[in-house]
Amino acid sequence: MIEIKQNHSLKEQNNFRFDHKAEFFCEVHSVEESHEFIDYCLNKNIPIKLLGDGTNIVLTRDIEGGVLKVSIPGRNINRNEVNLGAGENWNEVVLWSLENQLFGLENLSLIPGSVGAAPVQNIGAYGEEISSKLVSLEALNIKTNELILMTNKECKFSYRESIFKKKDDLMITSIKLKLSKEPKVNTSYKSLKNYLIKDDINPNRATPYQVCRAVTSIRNQILPDFKVEPNVGSFFKNLILDEMTFNKLKKKNVDLPHFKNPKDLTYKVPVAFLIENAGWKGKKQGNVRVSEKHALVLIADKGSNSEQLIKLSSVIAKDIYEKTQVELEVEPKIF
């Protein structure tokens, strides 16, 4: 039997700790419980919003209707494939896979959030994305209460994008990943390679465990702890530019860091460089600020609210556009 709470505070369910309420709130631990709450909402003709660990959302208001928090557990291994419940903690799963000598997730260490949210965002870091490991997933259509199986191709992955961002009626319940029993690693990402070299580790001979420790250490050094300084990590997406747009931007920023994708001849440009170059790093407006550690991270200090945060992000985006003529795109989901 599920427990449905009314006018439930979501303060503990979002990283910024903004105190907005859900009209109806239910935390589910199985597909059966999910079916039950979806039926409840369908019978009352009320909309449903989905919630994972709240590490990549910005709450700006009270939520009318139902909020379904997905906490479905599950970790199973079948040879080199793993089946994971959507409610599992992502970083704990990465460490668990290494303990079981299954490799391929080490570059994605310490990314906050749940397993179910990982494909939505197509999480990625240090040269890897979850889309390269995902075989399939199961999802509930919250408008029909039907459970469906989706292949990797059907998820329509791209940089920080998936079909789940465009169709918010799909709730991921579990995912299947194909990992490797061979300890091959990807150390192509420049900052990861440099860190390993500084640590007297040959990047070409690094073990998955060494890569995991390196990624964890780098993230701890450059990103503020959201439990101490409320944030959702990168607030803006990095830029993916065609050659013409990239060349125009590079004329204005001679030292512009970038990564050229040989597959489609696009250029990935770190937005943190543009924000820092424009003088925003460490700047404060009201009770919100740009992190002193990383220019992509916005922090909500005590006494802040979502209005202040959205205003700061808009001012930054406008300033960057005026200086570079490129538009920044917000990464977290705005409710």
pLDDT digit string (tens) for 172-182? 999 999 999 99
Least confident of 23-32, 265-274, 314-323: 265-274
pLDDT of 87 reads 97
SS3 label, residue 146: strand
Asked if residue 232 lies in contact with residue 219, where contact means CB atoms within 8 angstroms, the answer is: no
Residue spans of beta strands (DSSP E) within 215-313: 239-241, 259-261, 266-269, 284-285, 288-290, 298-300
Residue 255 pLDDT: 84
Q: What is the pLDDT of residue 159?
A: 85
Identify the pLDDT of residue 167.
85
Spatial distance between the Cα atoms of 73 and 179, rounded to a whole number of angstroms: 20
Mean pLDDT of 96-100: 97
- Would you please indicate which residues are annotated as catalytic (active-site) residues? 160, 234, 331
Task: Give the pLDDT confidence score for residue 259 in this predicted structure.
Answer: 82
Q: To which residue do tokens 């709240």 refer?
A: 54
What the block records as the tokens of 93 is 């799963």
Beta bridge partners of 46: none
Q: What is the mean pLDDT of residues 81-106?
A: 97
pLDDT of residue 128: 94
What pLDDT shows up at residue 250?
86
| Whether this model's pTM surpasses 0.85 | yes
Give me the phi and psi of 181, to 5 degrees please. Answer: -90, -10
Q: Which domains does the chain show, CATH number per domain?
A: 5-70 (3.30.43.10), 75-178 (3.30.465.10), 190-222 (no CATH), 239-334 (3.90.78.10)
The answer to whether the CB of 301 falls within 8 A of the CB of 288 is: yes
Convert the pLDDT of each residue in 38-47 to its tens digit: 999 999 999 9
Given this model, what pLDDT does residue 249 score?
87
Whether the per-residue pLDDT at 235 is higher than 80: the answer is: yes
**Which of 32-46, 115-129, 217-231, 237-251 is predicted least confidently?**
237-251
Task: Give the residue-averaged pLDDT of 200-212.
Answer: 93
What Cα–Cα distance (Å) separates residue 305 from each residue in 16, 110, 153, 233, 308?
A: 9, 27, 39, 17, 6
Residue 318: what are its φ and ψ, rounded to 5°? -65, -40
Confidence of residue 252 (pLDDT cuts 50, 70, 90): confident
Q: Which of left, alpha, beta for 185 (phi over 0: left; psi -120 to 50: alpha)?
A: beta
